[in-house]
Amino acid sequence: MALLVLAVGASSILRAPPTNALRLRTVPTMRVSAADEQRMLYSETALSAFISAEMRHFCESKMAELGQDEKPEELAQREEQRDQLYGTSGPAAVDLICDTTEHAFKELHKSDASVLSALGSAITYLREYFKTDELAQPLARVGLTDYEAAHHMTDMYMSRRDVGVGFARILQPSGAGNDVTNPNPDPSPNPNPDPNANASPGQASCTRGARA
């Protein structure tokens, strides 16, 4: 009898179900369908994030151009002089321009988004948001005019929505806005990316403090 009990006990141990740890499985990454992805990319939130990120890249690129001919040892001093001249630092100027970009797009999208599909009308409308006393110095600090800021917003919208892409005047996106609006991020990015691909001075979103 004792031998029989031992045999049954040993058999139960051998057939014991796996522990919770052994039953864990990796949850597959959910991917968004092409139709849903397009709807997400064309939503007001996604378009605003995309345009804002592209505007930040545009501003930072323009600021970099201001100092491209200056010697490294003189650059910091020149930057400080520009800060004093325009009454604002470069990063603060970019933040204000990006805030205005987001506000202008949301207001226009809410009132009449169709205006954004007409290059001239969109620039005229958006320019009013940048043609203010509050924005005059920040725009000058980064090397932009109110017209250029409004034009860039329109370019980015039309490029994203594939409207007027063939126009010679449409500036194509830098790619900086893709990181903040991609509904299907690659879970396994290339560990050795091309260092020259999509190189840019800054690829952060327009959120304050997001810059490196």
At residue 151, what is the residue type?
H
Residue 86 lies in a domain: yes
Alpha-carbon dihedral 39, 43, 46, 50, rounded to 10 degrees: 100
Distance between CA atoms of 167 and 124, rounded to whole angstroms? 18
pLDDT score at 159: 82
Higher pLDDT, 36 or 148: 148
What's the structural domain count of the chain? 1
- pLDDT for the residue numbered 158: 84
What Rg value do the Cα atoms of the chain yield, rounded? 26
Instruction: Give the best-scoring range by mean pLDDT among 68-72, 111-115, 135-139.
Output: 135-139
- Listed in sequence order, the residues at least 6 apart from 176 whose beta carbon sits closer than 8 Å to its beta carbon are 53, 54, 56, 57, 200, 202, 203, 204
Report which of residues 208 and 138 the model is more confident about.
Answer: 138
Instruction: Give residue 6's pLDDT.
Output: 45
Q: Structure tokens of 117?
A: 């599909």
With a CB cutoff of 8 Å and minimum separation 6, the contacts of 113 are: none
Residue 104 lies in a domain: yes
Is 195 within the bounds of a domain? no
Q: What is the pLDDT of residue 32?
A: 61
Please list, in sequence order, all residues whose beta carbon lies within 8 angstroms of the beta carbon of residue 206, skipping any fewer than 6 positions away: 49, 52, 53, 55, 56, 98, 99, 101, 102
Structure-block tokens of residue 64: 């970099």
**Does residue 92 lie within any of the structural domains?**
yes
Residue 50 domain boundaries? 39-180
Nearest to 122 by CA among 146, 151, 98: 151
Which of 133, 144, 137, 131 shows the shortest CA–CA distance to 88?
Answer: 137
163-208: pLDDT as tens digits: 554 454 556 666 666 655 554 444 444 444 444 444 443 334 444 4
In a domain, 132, yes or no: yes
Of the candidates 5, 97, 84, the one whose C-alpha atom is nearest the C-alpha of residue 56 is 97
Q: Please, are residues 167 and 118 in contact by the beta-carbon 8 Å criterion? A: no
